């Protein structure tokens, strides 16, 4: 392969990265709060492209710029993509890659200007990039190795790390007076492999960004944007699934209806923004109390609903009391909550699971209004063949008002 062909291949490597960079930066501009990682992912290939242009201009520009700065840009671009993935999964950004980059630039200066040695440079640059790629591989695997996007990215990062490690290990086979554009079969295979791995890695990052966007869209479709609780329709679907499972396994279910007391007064006195803060605070209080399997939804306005799988009324009352008794967040107006509790047994009538769930909601709602009528800021259990809430109240040691409607 001629010298011109090798320069064209190196430039192709950079151009491939720029294509994915444009896509990733566009995703970042459209979704900055959701995808801050895409900025790192987009900048990385662009820096690599700058580095490849500098390498391709070797002979036209001096070694400190072409070799030192060019290789530093390529390593820095790989580090930026790794940093983007750390940002994507909410991990802190370490300093060690940048320290390594500075030390590498100093070493490259020595072996390109002071004591030119191409095999040593070829050992250092792919070797350090292989270390960065292995760190990237470990990061992705630790957070997600099951989704298609992550598996696609893992495959290409692993391929890139392998190609870089092999090239670093075989660098001693090159002549000391050779350079990047000396035509050898091994070097041509390495450049082509890295070009394709860069393309694959860029596509994998785009797939990860799209996966995050799709998850966000599904979240918006099934969860209330203000409180993060499930929408009424999504809660009903999830709750009905639990009722069907309950009837197969013979386990109890408990339904809680929760309503903030005098919420209109909060809006009228403190304004709707403060009312929104109260709703978010209350939703956080509930989530801190629930298990991962519990279903928490916003039923409407300041009214919420919870379904507790594999839970009887007595345990449901105790949980409701923990929600009611949690400390208020500093800076919010004082507010209280009234809660109605009912148990749905596997053999409850009617046989139709939808009507049985509707009946349980109606009973919990009636118990909620009993709590309102009895003075608010209390938990009331609907009539059910279970122990009364008063028994659970005595177990919690709480001084709240408990009753059976």
Burial of 30 (0-12, 13-18, 19+ CB in 10 A): exposed
Do 37 and 88 form a contact (C-beta atoms < 8 A)?
Answer: yes
Number of H helices, E strands in the chain: 14, 6
Q: Give the residues across from 258 on adjacent strands.
A: 304, 339
**pLDDT 10s digits, 90-145:** 999 999 899 989 999 999 999 888 888 888 888 988 999 999 999 999 999 999 99
Look-up of token digits 């803060």: 277
Residue 355 is encoded by which pair of tokens? 């009507």
C-alpha distance across the termini of the chain, in Å: 88
Instruction: Give CA separation, 7 vs 20, 57, 163, in Å.
Output: 21, 9, 19
Q: Residue 179: its pLDDT value, please?
A: 63
* Spacing of C-alpha 23 from chain mean position: 20
Tell me the percentage of the chain whose pLDDT exceeds 70.
Answer: 89
Q: Is the pLDDT of residue 282 over 90?
A: yes
Q: Is the pLDDT of residue 6 over 80?
A: no
Instruction: Give CA separation, 21 vs 35, 46, 110, 205, 227, in Å.
Output: 14, 6, 32, 10, 35
Dihedral (CA of 11, 12, 16, 22) sign: positive
**pLDDT 10s digits, 215-232:** 988 888 899 989 999 999
Look-up of token digits 């790192």: 40
**pLDDT 10s digits, 153-184:** 999 999 999 999 998 998 887 766 666 666 67
Write out the H or E segment, with its range, that includes residue 254: strand 253-260
The band of 340, judged by pLDDT with boundaries at 50, 70 and 90, is: very high
């Amino acid at each position: 392969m001629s010298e011109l062909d090798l320069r064209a291949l190196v430039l192709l490597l950079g151009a491939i990265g720029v294509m994915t960079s444009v896509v990733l930066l566009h995703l970042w501009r459209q979704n900055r709060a959701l995808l801050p990682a895409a900025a790192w992912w987009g900048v990385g290939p662009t820096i690599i492209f700058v580095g490849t242009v500098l390498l391709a201009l070797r002979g036209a520009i001096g070694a400190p710029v072409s070799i030192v700065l060019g290789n530093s840009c390529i390593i820095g671009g790989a580090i930026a993509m790794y940093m983007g993935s750390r940002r994507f999964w909410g991990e802190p950004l370490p300093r060690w890659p940048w320290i390594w980059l500075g030390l590498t630039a100093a070493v490259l200066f020595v072996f390109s200007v002071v004591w030119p040695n191409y095999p040593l440079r070829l050992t250092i640059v792919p070797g350090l990039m292989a270390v960065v790629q292995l760190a990237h591989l470990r990061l992705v695997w630790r957070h997600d190795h099951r989704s298609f996007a992550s598996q696609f990215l893992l495959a290409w990062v692993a391929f890139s790390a392998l190609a870089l490690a092999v090239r670093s290990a075989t660098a001693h086979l090159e002549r000391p007076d050779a350079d990047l554009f000396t035509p050898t079969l091994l070097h041509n295979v390495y450049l082509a492999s890295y070009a394709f791995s860069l393309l694959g890695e860029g596509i994998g990052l785009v797939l990860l960004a799209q996966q995050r966007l799709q998850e966000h869209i599904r979240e918006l479709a099934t969860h209330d944007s203000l409180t993060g609780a499930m929408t009424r329709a999504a809660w009903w679907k999830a709750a009905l699934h639990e009722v069907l499972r309950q009837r197969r396994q013979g386990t109890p279910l408990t339904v809680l209806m929760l309503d903030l007391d005098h919420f209109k007064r909060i809006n009228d006195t403190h304004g709707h923004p403060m009312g929104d803060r109260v709703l978010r605070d209350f939703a956080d209080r509930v989530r801190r109390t629930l298990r991962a399997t519990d279903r928490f939804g916003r039923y409407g306005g300041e009214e919420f609903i919870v379904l507790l799988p594999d839970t009887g009324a007595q345990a449901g009352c105790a949980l409701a009391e923990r929600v009611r008794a949690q400390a208020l967040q500093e800076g919010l107006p004082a507010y209280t909550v009234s809660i109605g509790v009912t148990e749905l047994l596997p053999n409850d009538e009617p046989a139709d699971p939808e009507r049985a769930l509707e009946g349980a909601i109606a009973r919990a709602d009636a118990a909620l209004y009993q709590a309102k009528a009895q003075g608010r800021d209390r938990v009331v259990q609907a009539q059910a063949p279970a122990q009364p809430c008063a028994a659970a109240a005595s177990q919690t040691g709480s001084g709240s008002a408990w009753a059976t409607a």
